Amino acid sequence: MPLLTKFPNIELAVMAILDRDIVALTNKSGTELPKNQPLPYVRVFRVPGGRRNRLKDYPWVDIEVFAEGATGKSLMEDIDAVIFGYPEGVAVGDQFVKIEDVQVRASLGQRPWTDDRVRRYGATYQLTVSRS
């Protein structure tokens, strides 16, 4: 029986899609918020939970926008539209990743943050991807 390929790194796939499809984000996303990071910045990380079977992965992905003032909400709305637009597939290393389905686990909203000058908006999605 042939070996199955590994599931894609969903964090890298989502960041590549956002960097490609949202001009304001080119190279302004990552899995952690670096100190002294110019804003806006998007943090993408896989949340524990979700499920997978032999052929499909259903990861939960949290996407947060850090921005000064209310511009973060508009940027998060753009991200939401891209994710729900079932974007064109994207190459991540030697894999081609295509989001097949999207479900909202926590809808877009402002989240608490310790710095009053920075607003944090986020949403959590369950994505469906296949092995490539």
Q: Does 3 map to a domain? A: no
Residue range 3-14: mean pLDDT, rounded: 86
**Distance (Å, rounded) from C-alpha 16 to C-alpha 31?**
12
Tell me what percent of the residues of the chain surpass a pLDDT of 90.
Answer: 57
Over 70: is that where the pLDDT of 82 sits?
yes
Q: Does 58 map to a domain? A: yes
Residue range 5-12: mean pLDDT, rounded: 90
CATH number at residue 59: 3.30.2000.30
What pLDDT was estimated at residue 24? 72
Over 70: is that where the pLDDT of 76 sits?
yes
Q: Does 4 map to a domain? A: no
Q: Does 76 map to a domain? A: yes
Evaluate whether 40 touches 71 at the Cβ level (below 8 Å). yes
What's the chain's average pLDDT?
Answer: 89
pTM above threshold 0.95: no
Q: Does 5 map to a domain? A: no
Q: Does 65 map to a domain? A: yes
**Distance (Å, rounded) from C-alpha 58 to C-alpha 56?**
7
What pLDDT was estimated at residue 4? 64
Q: Does 115 map to a domain? A: yes
pLDDT of 83-122, one tens digit each?
A: 998 778 899 988 899 999 999 999 999 999 998 889 999 9
Higher pLDDT, 29 or 86: 29
Q: Does 95 map to a domain? A: yes
What pLDDT was estimated at residue 86? 77
Range of the domain at 68: 10-130
Q: How many domains is the chain built from? A: 1
**Distance (Å, rounded) from C-alpha 128 to C-alpha 132?**
13
pLDDT of 34-46, one tens digit each?
A: 888 889 999 999 9
